[in-house]
Amino acid sequence: MTPGLMPSEFMTPEPPKERSVLSSNGLSTTANVQRSLRQCLSIAAELLYDNGHVLETITLPQRGLAHRELLTLCAAAPTWATCQKVMEASEAATFNEYGRFVLTRLGREIMFDMFGQGAADCA
């Protein structure tokens, strides 16, 4: 043995244990994303109503918001663009086969959970 070295110094270090990433408020990244998504869905519902739409505009897969309507919403309420990005990144919203913005099954289920059956009858 080399003088002055202890046997433990010859051992390879243990890899760091994986930890759940916590934000400054103590919530995991997953919890923050879900909370952010719920906030965006709530804001989206309010913005739709404020701009003359009904919630079924995005909860019914065959309906949706056309590109022109999305631009109008973004101009009237800049927070729409942020919420739309969060909804798409969370896979809670997408564009249907007609190129219209709609909620996915996940988005409809969360919307139903938040607002009740009338909000998303097809969830």
Q: Kindly state the helix (H) or strand (E) to which residue 75 belongs, with its residue range.
A: helix 67-76
- Residue 117's pLDDT is 66
Prediction pTM value: 0.69
Task: Name the token pair of 101.
Answer: 């913005």
How confident is the prediction along the chain (123 residues), in pLDDT tens digits per residue? 555 555 444 444 443 343 444 445 455 545 555 678 999 999 999 999 999 999 899 999 999 999 999 999 999 999 999 999 999 999 999 999 999 999 999 999 999 888 876 554 444
Tally the C-alpha atoms within 13 A of residue 122's C-alpha that lie toward its C-beta: 14
DSSP structure string for 39-53 = HHHHHHHHHHHHTT-
- Residue 101's pLDDT is 97
